[in-house]
Chain A
Amino acid sequence: MAEINNTKSASSWKFPFRIKIENRVDNPPKWLSPTLSVGAIIIALLIGAIVIWMGGGNPWAAYSHIAKYSLGSVGVLSDTLVKAIPLMLVGLACSIAFRMKLWNIGAEGQFFLGAFGASLVVLLPILPEDAPKWLFIITMAFFGMLFGALWGFIPGLLKARYNVNEIISTLMMNYIAIEWNNYFIYAVWSERGFQMSRMFQRNAWLPRLSDLSTRWPFFSGLTTHFGLVFAVLAAIILWLILSKSKWGYEIRLIGDNPKAAEYAGISIKKNIVLVMMVSGALAGLAGMSEIGGVVHRLQGAISPGYGYTGIIIAWLAKLNPLAVILASILFGALILAGREVQPAGIPTLIQGMIMVTLIASDFFYRNRVTIIRRVED
């Protein structure tokens, strides 16, 4: 039981209140966690406003622009969802790894490798050019997940075999993945000297809402694509695995108490490799859906740091796969509309600020903080 007296005491005059901090013994009320998260986001936006103002920007203009051009109409809301799709998948990738206290911060690289794997199907080619659309979708998703999983497997194996710190190794793999992709877009699949592959043929595109506009005119111009189905399905499956299955129980037990897991006969090493592969596969699927649903070719600038944002999303969602869906939409809005805001670093700044205040707010979840009137002594 930690009790810290935080008030400054002067010899003659004493501050009439003091702050009492004690560990929570009981379960905190249900409303506390979401309230703290919302409060953390608000405080982050306030502090962010000060920094933007210091940098010579106009915080109010920046924030209202982001709100208006991300959620203000059906059209932009659809674009926000497009940004939210890869975020959901990488958010899930981080969530399952973090649940085991396995710090996979390589979702960015696994995303790039997933995009590479999906491109192989079209550009190598693995499927003939006129193969049916459904076959393309399944095959591209498979190869995207396969290459993402491979990129997760390497640091997973290094950690299980040689106890190599996965934070560093997954991060290094990000830089390697980007150079790997660069080689292929500059040297192998370069189209007429540009740093990008050729445009994929139509039957390798994921279907969009606007494809339905012939039957329902309401959908015309809406860009939300089939990747959303992947992402939501993945969230539900992951939620079932984590909270209902024996494997999910093992993952949570390793995360909370590795010693107990070991005594219970759970193989930690096997799970490290497995979870890294699943995590990588999810991030790889994100890369595939971005390639198949939005970009339709392999090129350099396919991610504004989705893999890193996934870390914050996982944390905001408290590693709950279903909450990842909501958190991703919020950050999708930020990334979509933040592109046009000056100065250019604002989305990164706000993301960082939100993460810092979120982690700080956790203190109020773990501890009961009360301000009490000082009793004369």
Chain B
Amino acid sequence: MDLLIILASGVATGTVLLYATVGEAFAERSGILNLGVEGMMLIGAMAAYKTAAATGNAWLGLLVAMLAAGLISQVHAFITITLQADQVISGLALNFLATGISLVLGEGLTSLRDVVPQLPKFTIPGLAQIPWLGRVFFDNQSILVYAGFLFIPLAWYYINRTRPGLHLRAVGEYPAAADTLGIHVYFLRYFYVFVGGTLAGLAGATISLSISPGWFGALTTAGQGWIAVGLVIFAQWNPIRAAFGAYTFGALRRLVLDIQAPVLIFGLANPFYSNLNYAFFLKMLPYIFTVVFLVIGSREANRKRIGSPAALGLPYIRGQRGL
């Protein structure tokens, strides 16, 4: 059944969004909005691919990608935490900067296809035999997809059930109170911006070393970093909801690509097969759905009175009144 293959590759594609979204959720939980996800993902994708090409080791590429994206995120951290500048405009700036750096350092990588090693793919015996679900989740997936399955509950547990997670939430909700309790507000904010950066780098590396291997300049991410920023709001800063959103969007992205292939759908003529020009409207769908998700998310948040972290977007200045 073709649908299962589409869903399986949707899970793989969604893994990219999963890492980026949860990474951004970590940064925002600490009170720092980082709009540079798209740029950091590009840095990660470029660094991973370049390192793997140079050393022949995909794992080293993954490591360098996470470090490089984490490092570039500290530009945003310094400007917003220490210099107390506006987080929106600094995030936009980081995006330009990171995109530019990845384009300059990624020069010449486009032509390297087929010689660059990729991360391993394998089937999990036993689990893959589960009807339907096995084919979708456990059949010949990248190791990073499986790592994603483990990452979701761990991230949720860390944020909601551990002491460092409590500190993280405190710093984002009420930094002044956290400070009086001896929690290092500035350090933790730097740290979680770094965490967000490394996860965005991981997301980028997931693309270039595994899901759609290669370096295609700014088209490598094609706006997925921005979709991730949108998903964080839909996910209400919760890793489990983020995973739901990420896999849904992954499936949607694949559907858009794959729906043009079959001649018949459910026994009817496939309109997208006969007229390829409709594909342009299909390609709009992920972006339209992001906006729809935002509407749903904000209405739901209104109804349940779930807000963003209270100190999100605000600089913390020790000794000043306010949050």
Contacts and interface: CB of A to CB of B under 8 A. Distances in A.
A368 B284 CA distance: 49
Given A187-B277, A346-B104, A356-B97, A164 B319 contact: no
B103 interface: yes
Given A175-B223, A180-B280, A349 B83 contact: no
B138 interface: no
Interface in A151-210: 158, 162-165, 167-169, 171-173, 175-176, 179-180, 182-183, 186-187
B96 A158 contact: no
B92 interface: yes
A355 B320 contact: no
Contact of B93 (A57, A163, A182, A359): A359
Nearest to B222: A175
Query: Main secondary structure on chain B at its contact with chain A?
Result: helix
A165 B287 CA distance: 14
Nearest to A185: B280
A172 B290 contact: yes
A221 interface: no
Which of A165, A311, A359 has the most C-beta atoms of chain B within 10 angstroms of its own C-beta? A359
Contacts of A186: 277, 280
B230 interface: yes
A351 interface: yes
Contact of A343 (B85, B103, B294): B103
B99 A348 contact: yes
B255 interface: no
Nearest to A181: B280
Nearest to B107: A343
Nearest to B319: A2
Interface in B225-252: 226-227, 229-230, 233
Contact of A345 (B86, B104, B226, B319): B104
A52 B38 CA distance: 21
Given A164-B291, A360-B85, A180 B318 contact: no
A167 B88 contact: yes
A186 B295 CA distance: 32
Nearest to A57: B104
A187 B279 CA distance: 11
B291 A169 contact: yes
A346 B277 CA distance: 34
Given A345-B104, A351-B96, A315 B89 contact: yes
A283 B53 CA distance: 41
Interface string B206-225: 00000000000100000100
Contacts of A176: 284, 287-288
A54 B226 CA distance: 28
A72 B260 CA distance: 51
Contact of B295 (A52, A164, A343, A346): A164
Interface string B39-54: 1000000000000000
A257 to B, nearest CB: 14
Interface string A348-373: 11111101101110110010000000
Contacts of A362: 83, 85
A363 B284 contact: no
B280 A182 contact: yes
B180 to A, nearest CB: 17
B18 interface: no
A10 interface: no
A294 to B, nearest CB: 23
A346 B95 CA distance: 14
B226 A344 contact: no
B223 A171 contact: yes
A55 B105 contact: yes
A183 B103 contact: no
B266 interface: no
B226 A158 contact: no
B309 interface: no
B104 A163 contact: no
Given A55-B107, A363-B83, A355 B317 contact: no
Interface in B149-187: none
B277 A169 contact: no
A266 interface: no
Given A169-B291, A352-B101, 16 more contacts: A51-B101, A57-B104, A165-B298, A168-B233, A172-B291, A176-B288, A312-B93, A345-B101, A348-B103, A349-B100, A349-B101, A353-B97, A359-B83, A359-B85, A359-B86, A359-B89
Interface of A: 1-2, 51-52, 54-57, 103, 105, 158, 162-165, 167-169, 171-173, 175-176, 179-180, 182-183, 186-187, 308, 311-312, 315, 342-353, 355-356, 358-360, 362-363, 366
Interface of B: 35, 39, 75, 78-79, 83-86, 88-90, 92-108, 217, 223, 226-227, 229-230, 233, 277, 280-281, 283-284, 287-288, 290-291, 294-295, 298-299, 302, 317-320
